[in-house]
Structure 1
Amino acid sequence: MALRACGFIVFRRLCDSVPPPGNIEFLLLQTSYGEHHWTPPKGHVDPGEDDLTTALRETEEEAGLGSEHLQVVDDFAHELRYEVGGRPKEVLYWLAELRDPGTAVMLSNEHQEYRWVRLEEACMLAKYRDLQETLRAAQKHLEARQHQQ
Structure 2
Amino acid sequence: MAEIPIRCFAVSVVLLRRVPAECEVLLLRRNHTLVGEWCQIAGAIEEGEKAWEAALREASEETNLTCDRLYSADICEQFYEADRDAISMLPVFVGFVDADATVVLNHEHSEFRWVSFEAALEMVPFAGQRHVLRHVEAEFVRREPVRHLLIEAACRWPWSARNS
User: Distance in 1 between the 2:104 and 2:49 partners?
Assistant: 24
Could you tell me which residue of structure 1 aligns to residue 56 of structure 2?
Answer: 56
Gaps of 5+ in 2: 146-164
Counterpart of 2:14 (choices 9, 15, 20) is: 9
RMSD: 1.7
Q: How far did 1:3 drift?
A: 4.6
Instruction: Note if contact 1:79-1:91 (Cα within 8 Å) is conserved in structure 2.
Output: yes
In the alignment, the residues of structure 2 paired with residue 92 and residue 36 of structure 1 have an alpha-carbon distance, to the nearest angstrom, of 24
Name 1:73's counterpart in structure 2: 71
Q: Distance in 2 between matches of 1:39 and 1:92?
A: 15
- Report the residue type matching 1:78 in the other structure: I
Provide TM-score, normalisation by structure 1.
0.83
Q: Which runs of 5+ in 1 are unaligned?
A: none
Corresponding residue SS for 1:135? helix
Residue matched to 1:104:
102
Secondary structure class of the residue paired with 1:106: coil
Larger Rg: 2
Number of the residue aligned with 1:89: 88
Aligned AA for 1:124?
E
TM-fit CA distance, 1:6: 0.9
How far does the alpha carbon of each residue in 1:18-41 deviate from its partner, in whole angstroms, 9 at most, with x for none?
Answer: 4xxxx1110011111243221111
Does residue 139 of structure 1 match 2:144?
no
Secondary structure in 1 aligned to 2:53? helix
Structure 1 moving runs of 4+ over 6 Å: none
Instruction: Provide the residue aligned with 2:125 in structure 1.
Output: 127
Tell me, in whole angstroms, the C-alpha distance in 1 between the residues paired with 2:130 and 2:50: 25
Amino acid at match of 1:125: M
Query: 1:88 & 1:122 partners in 2: Cα distance?
Result: 24
Q: Which moved more, 1:27-36 or 1:121-130?
A: 27-36
Deviation at 1:73, TM superposition (A): 3.4
| Inter-partner Cα distance in structure 2 for 1:116 and 1:139 | 14
Q: Please state how far the C-alpha of 1:131 moved relative to its aligned partner.
A: 0.7
C-alpha distance in 1 between matches for 2:79 and 2:100: 34
Aligned length: 136
Residue 55 of structure 1 deviates from its aligned partner by 0.6
